[in-house]
Structure 1
């Protein structure tokens, strides 16, 4: 039997105020990692630091 996965997609959108995108991404990945999520990929959605992270964990 093959492994089944659950996926989570997180969008990090730049803001004028607050922490930088990289800091917010790190915080979000640490939070999700504590819940068992594993990062699969991060991609730029726009050239202005709008990021999309794809994570997975066993179903």
Structure 2
């Protein structure tokens, strides 16, 4: 990508009552990757809170 490129960003986290399984997260990331999204950061503000996945793709 060149300087000045524009990006779309998304945070995609939908935990269930008992949280997310590793397999569910992996499946979602594969789906988003096939759509052109790139995972750039993962944040968990507290051990008992949901993980936030930050993704981007060129506009």
> Would you say same fold, with TM above 0.5?
yes
| 1:26-37 mapped onto 2 (5 Å cutoff) | 26-37=26-37
Give the aligned length: 57
The runs of 5 or more residues in structure 2 that have no matched partner are none
More strand by proportion, 1 or 2? Answer: 1
Whether the 8 Å CA contact 1:11–1:52 is kept in 2: the answer is yes
TM-score when normalising by structure 1: 0.77
SS in 1 for 2:57: strand
Moved over 6 A (4+): none
1:46-57 equivalences under 5 Å are 46-48=46-48, 50-57=50-57
